[in-house]
Structure 1
Amino acid sequence: MTEPDRRSVLKALTATVAALAAGASVTSPAAAADASESWTTQTLEAFSDTLIPGERRFPGDVAVAGAVTGPGAVQAGVVDLLNSPSLPVAGLLPAIATLLDARALAYAALRLIWLPPTRPPFVGLSFSDRTALVGGLFDSGDPDRPIWQVLSLLVGLAFDTAGQQDTVQALAQGHPGLAWLRFPGPDPDGLWRFRDFSYGRPLAALHPETTASGSPA
């Protein structure tokens, strides 16, 4: 991947995070279904499953390693999030997956690991080798480290916050990540107020000019 391509990928990933933070609606089950059998999707699923593992979805699932029981990033809809046409990263996913697969090929060659030719190289690695490879991607001297850092943030957003859905709808539909984390539901009007302070007491007095929405004066 050339230097301009790196910048384009990082720019798109960062813009995706910004769009999610702004509350963009990105649910795209059709796009995810169309991509479910592609090598790009398998590679990205395997990367996501390495960061937030889950159980296999079906017998013979090769992208999800099945290292744990319970849901992981893949079950929580990371593919929906990444493939959404509403976000600027979708068109660059093949380049990201190709970069990761190239790193997997190099990793396997140095260790004389045989990779099945019918799977993407990263998917062909064992879970322990996937974990070792991904850990190295975050080394301070890695030229692509910013790409993996932002991509990992998106993986976390899919699981921890259901970033690809409206939160109220995600809870109503039993989003796997939110359910696993026991994310609390809103009040009857759809708003979260958290009347119980996490430390058992308020940390500061409410400013008298705080707005009704909770914004500072």
Structure 2
Amino acid sequence: MTTMPPHPEHPEHPGTSAPPARRTILSALTATVALLAAGQLPPAVSGAVAAETGATGWTVQTMEAFADTLIPGERRSSGDRAIAGAVTGPGAVQAGVIQTLTSPELPLAPLLPEIAALLNARALAYATLHLILLPPTLPSFVGLPFRHRTTLLGTLFDPGEPDRAIWQVLSLLTGLAFDSAAHLDTRQALDAHHPGLDWLDFPPPGADGLWRFPHYSYGKALATPHPATTPSGSPA
């Protein structure tokens, strides 16, 4: 009896370490969100590319397709398959989601092949159930038409899904890449016309390079500052 060869991203040879547990993946995702939110990454993150982390083409394509399903953008070329081209204009991929996920300064990069393999396994099961013929040269999730990618991701967020938390946090990271240019210095991102910040009309800094917000976001003061508040705005 013949057996299928192991997937290049998911080897099963004797002696190969077992895939990381769900908790390990979720911990890395959560730590990544915390580091990005705290702004603790050095400027080197802006130059990070997938190749520096050892992420293969299939992993990158799968992560791009995941991000593009959440925040769609236009194709980079006529042969682009990871981006489905569901809309015009830039999406999460153009906003730097791969640079964010694969940064060597974050704990997530080594686990991306396992996350991609998990998503592709779900896509293969979905395609089999719905009698969808997938291209053999593409990752399973990338091979799904956009509407089926969207439907599949919708099921992954169902309350009963065991891996739901993984997809939730990965979605949050996708949003951070688009909404806040998490992998770039904010001034650098604005100078480069980062698509997410441009979309949100993020304001430029003042002449001294600092951001100040003279107008209340709700159009009015919601509370009176405590009389002992310091000039910097810190509580007494």
- TM-score w.r.t. the length of structure 1 is 0.93
Q: Note the 1:34-183 alignment, pairs <5 A.
A: 38-183=57-202
Runs of 5+ consecutive residues of structure 2 not aligned to the other structure: 1-9, 11-17
Q: How high is the sequence identity, in percent, across the aligned residues? A: 66
Deviations 1:82-127 (A, max 9, x none): 0000000000000000000000000000000000000000000000
Residue 9 of structure 1: which of 20, 25, 40 is its match?
25
AA in 1 matched with 2:50: A
Deviates more, 1:70-79 or 1:203-212: 203-212
Q: 1:199 to 1:31 in 2, by over 3 A?
A: closer
Shift of 1:164: 0.6
- The number of equivalent residue pairs is 217
SS at 1:57 equivalent: coil
Contact 1:71 1:180 in 2 (8 A): no
Residue 47 of structure 2: which of 29, 35, 42 is its match?
29
Shift of 1:201: 1.8
Shift of 1:28: 4.5
AA in 2 matched with 1:17: V
**Which protein is bigger by CA-based radius of gyration?**
2
Contact 2:68 2:92 in 1 (8 A): yes
Taking the aligned partners of 2:49 and 2:35, their CA distance within structure 1 comes to: 18
Taking the aligned partners of 1:62 and 1:215, their CA distance within structure 2 comes to: 50
Contact 1:28 1:83 in 2 (8 A): no
What is residue 213 of structure 2 aligned with on the other side?
194
Q: Please report the RMSD computed on the Cα atoms of aligned residues, expressed in angstroms.
A: 2.0
AA in 2 matched with 1:154: L
Decide which structure has greater helix share: 1
- TM-score w.r.t. the length of structure 2 is 0.86
Deviates more, 1:27-36 or 1:130-139: 27-36
Taking the aligned partners of 2:167 and 2:228, their CA distance within structure 1 comes to: 42
Taking the aligned partners of 1:92 and 1:43, their CA distance within structure 2 comes to: 13
Contact 2:48 2:104 in 1 (8 A): no
